[in-house]
Amino acid sequence: MNETDQIRNDAYLSRFAESDPDLQNDLPLFLKVYRSRKLCENCEGLFECRQSPVGERSCLSEEDGLHEEVEYCPYALKQKRSKSVLDRYMYCDISRNLADIDLSNIEYTPEQKQLYLALAAILYEKSQRGLYICGDLGVGKTYLCTALANSLVKKGKKVAFVKVSNFFNEMKGYFSTAAEMVDRNISILKNAEYLFLDDIGSETVSEFVRDDVLFRILDHRL
């Protein structure tokens, strides 16, 4: 197959080729875009991206004459959306691969329905009560709470989502070297409109954890 046929048979380029019957005038441009987009074939994520810069590829525009532009691939767009959501948290310990979920787009099992409705009541301000959620490992507690947290952030609420054991370990590290960071992070958790303490109870309890961190946060909020 010659170069012209490759362009005419390409699902993306063929619609632009229709307005250029012989392709000769713009053949170098078509080939450049064709080669760029071929690098994306069978790609499964940015971890294996062959483009430079990563996540960007050539495309065509007919505005003001046919010319090359640069666009982000779907994986790069998803990453940017995820970063945008996570950057809006006051404190965020959420996996990036959960940044796209919220209560409007998740699926839940019949067993999770009552919890889903309780979380939705918080989102729509039909409940002012906090929740303590317990259950076996892997039943979806963190998943559902992350969906609520993301929904609240998208509404412009001030949200802190903390994995408790990670947070306490971080605070212990600051205690002897940067005590002001302990006070700063505790202040964030005190003053967030919505605070999620994920996996509370899994941490190693010490006097510092109990009295200097957890008590200060919960006493202020209560």
Quote the CA–CA distance of 222 and 180 in Å, as a whole number. 24
Quote the CA–CA distance of 141 and 153 in Å, as a whole number. 18
pLDDT in tens, 131-156: 999 888 888 899 999 999 999 999 99
Of the candidates 39, 57, 59, the one whose C-alpha atom is nearest the C-alpha of residue 48 is 39
DSSP 69-86: EEEE-HHHHHHHHHHHHH
> Which H or E run contains 162?
strand 159-163
The domain made up of 81-221 is a member of CATH 3.40.640.10: no
pLDDT in tens, 37-46: 889 988 888 7
Of the candidates 141, 119, 143, 114, the one whose C-alpha atom is nearest the C-alpha of residue 194 is 119
The full set of domain ranges for the chain reads: 3-72, 81-221
Q: 201 or 71: whose pLDDT is higher? A: 71
Report the DSSP beta bridge partners of residue 67.
61
pLDDT at 123: 94
For residue 64, give the 3-state DSSP assignment.
coil
Of the candidates 142, 152, 88, 82, the one whose C-alpha atom is nearest the C-alpha of residue 120 is 152
**Cβ proximity of 13 and 7 under 8 Å:** yes
Encoded tokens for 142: 């963190």
When pLDDT is cut at 50, 70 and 90, the band that residue 1 belongs to is low
Whole-model pTM over 0.75? no
Q: How far is CA 87 from each of CA 72, 80, 90, 159, 208, rounded to the nearest angstrom?
A: 20, 10, 8, 11, 29
Q: Cis peptide leading into 53, omega within 30 of 0? A: yes
